[in-house]
Amino acid sequence: MYIKKQRLLTPGPTPLYPPALQAMMRADMHHRTEDFRKVYRACLADLKEVMGTSNDVLMFAASGTGAMDASVSNLFSKGDKVIVCVAGKFGERWADIVKAYGLDANVITVPYGHVVKPEQVERALQAEPATKGVFVQASETSTGAVHDVEAIGRAIAKTSAIFVVDAITGLGTMPLDIDGWGLDVVIGGSQKAFMVPPGLAFMSVSPKAWKLGDTSNLPHFYFNLKKEKKSGDAGESSWTPATAMILALGEALLYIKRIGMADLIKNAQMLAQATRAAAAKLGLEIFSTASPGSSVTAIKAPAGMDSGVIVKEFRDRFGSIIANGQGSMKGQIFRIAHLGYFDFADLFAMIACLEIILNANGHPVQYGTGVAAAQELYAQAAVKSLK
């Protein structure tokens, strides 16, 4: 037996920022105190800053799905006509949520790996002028594809519909001009580019979204956006907050502000680009060629190889957890994450391990060639940002 460090290389949970983890040890504090209010207020303000929006930002003790649920139950009404873009497993989740609340959904489905085109949304909006909202994933984690939310937002802005964006893996991995592009609701989660464990969801809410919410008639209790906004303004959460998680997030946000959100995104983009270059060199195909994003790169397993073998070999040989395909893509693709606390050294190691696994499982590659492709990308692109 040799030493195998456990490495979390999945698109959430992602590798944790150590000082954020350490900050959880400070949770021996009561949440209805000025000490904690200071932490909570800073978190909300820093979230708003790194998200780059003037919209309200709310936070919940919940996973990202909780905020997705909240956006529907708080802003829409039974029978509302909505458009749901489905390009993967998380698009399907939007469809499930709006169905659970009895909305009247026009579900635009494209095959896994593809994305819904802005024109498709535009046509659907024209076909149904009473549309109240459009739901999309900025980045579809299950396939690694990204939607053109800027163009979709432009189409929606001309209508009375609101634009609800699951940016859970989009935030910190792609530019998202929330105010400029008309992204009325933008949802994020702690265990993604924010570098802390799962347990916190957050969302920004635009005036247009608040206005629609005024007429909402759907039942909800725990997820109450208006109440949460009022609580947040007072430096509190409506219910008991996940104090340790918020301390962790606060610490991670300080780090993200220090790096700068633009460079955090650039970091993921460089790693994704280097991963695509390495994959090409190793004779592997990217799953979503049409619109590959930078939160995660989905790569097709070589012909005749189950991607589960690659996932298993990463764990057994190197102690590393990488993601298999989800849903119908299980066994077909494996996914390499770039979002949040990932660096080039992580990537070099991961590619070297992948080369060994491919060689040992019937897909011969020359050792070091994939790594070299990533190194070349680093040398070209990253050197500029040295200081």
CB 64, min distance to a second copy, A: 22
Asked if residue 344 binds a second copy (CB under 8 A), the reply is: yes
Please state the closest distance from residue 279 (CB atom) to a second copy, in A. 15
303 near a second copy, judged by CB under 8 A:
no
Q: Applying CB under 8 A, which of residues 329, 348, 358, 363 lies at the interface with a second copy?
A: 348
* Contacting residue, 3, 34, 217, 221, with a second copy by CB under 8 A: 3
Q: Which CB sits closer to a second copy, 33 or 366?
A: 366
Q: How many residues bind a second copy (CB under 8 A)?
A: 53
296 beta partners? 337
Told to check if 368 binds a second copy by CB under 8 A, we report yes
Residue 320 lies near a second copy (rule: CB under 8 A): yes
Interacting stretch for a second copy, rule CB under 8 A, among 83-91, 210-218, 220-228, 347-355? 347-355
User: What is d(CA 361, CA 310) in angstroms, rounded to the nearest whole number?
Assistant: 9
Restricting to residues 243-282, name those near a second copy by CB under 8 A: 259-260, 263-264, 266-267, 270
Q: Taking the CA atoms of the chain, what radius of gyration do you get in angstroms?
A: 21
Using CA atoms, how far residue 54 sits from 32, 46, 179, 184, in Å, is 27, 12, 7, 11
Residue 167's nearest CA partner among 156, 154, 184 is: 184
For the record, the structure tokens of 90 come out as 């998380």
Helix ranges restricted to H, the chain: 18-23, 34-51, 64-75, 89-100, 118-127, 149-157, 207-213, 225-233, 243-259, 261-281, 307-318, 344-360, 369-381
| Three-state DSSP class for residue 104 | strand
Pick between residue 139 and residue 320 the one whose CB is nearest to a second copy. Answer: 320
Contact present, 352 and 368 (Cβ < 8 Å): yes
Positions that interact with a second copy (CB under 8 A): 1-7, 18, 25, 259-260, 263-264, 266-267, 270, 316-320, 341-346, 348-350, 352-353, 355-356, 359-360, 366-372, 374-376, 378-379, 382-383, 385-387
